[in-house]
Structure 1
């Protein structure tokens, strides 16, 4: 691969990654923007992978975006990435995730990750999302 081809591939990957984050969250998260700035090749690879995963079912994806965002939320809770879990839960809610669905998924995280996963992230994510629910 020529240097020009490699440069074009990295630029396309960075653009796809940025667009994927903007579509999901309205912005590129700060830590990933830092990666894009200082390690654009790594961000390009991540961005292309994320762009492929976040395709809608009609665009070649197998799962709907609500489910994909919920899975990211639950995985982030399992590893203690609370802020990222909140962002993914918010996005899943915009795609129709209910508090009952989120609660059930968080119980699965508790079953696999133990009470520590619940106390470290799960409870905070559920509390955050409950506050986002329209009161009525």
Structure 2
């Protein structure tokens, strides 16, 4: 069982490094104190974050945009910024991001824009800068 858990943890770590260049601190903390939970998350993440060439149905840019939009809806500003920036590195444009953020606002209300969406848009505007 430990070998399976260790492999799943490694897959999760590798997935973060491949997409963000690092394992975010909160996930390092999860891996340290709840390795079984991180192992499960790592397996899900390594499954979802596959590009077309690795068997993924959606391209990584789209997946990163979806995560940015979902994080915006959930009020998770840091995650939304990280995923939006990753999507931009993969070719996401500011008009595409703005359109997606407006969709989030249509579902979640203006508060999603005021609490998270605007910060994500500013962050990505600054990156494009």
TM-score for both structures, normalised by structure 2: 0.98
Deviation, structure 1 residue 90: 0.5
1:52 counterpart (29, 42, 47): 47
Residue matched to 1:128: 123
1:53-73 deviations in whole A, cap 9, x for unaligned? 000112110000000000000
* Equivalent residue runs for 1:10-29 within 5 Å: 10-29=5-24
Taking only aligned residues, the RMSD between alpha carbons, in angstroms, comes to: 0.6
Are residue 86 (structure 1) and residue 81 (structure 2) matched? Answer: yes
Name the SS for the 1:62 alignment partner: coil
Counterpart-to-counterpart distance in 2, 1:122 and 1:87: 13
Name the SS for the 2:39 alignment partner: helix
Tell me how many residue pairs correspond in the alignment: 129
1:119 counterpart (114, 117, 125): 114
| Unaligned segments of structure 2, at least 5 residues | none
Residue matched to 2:56: 61
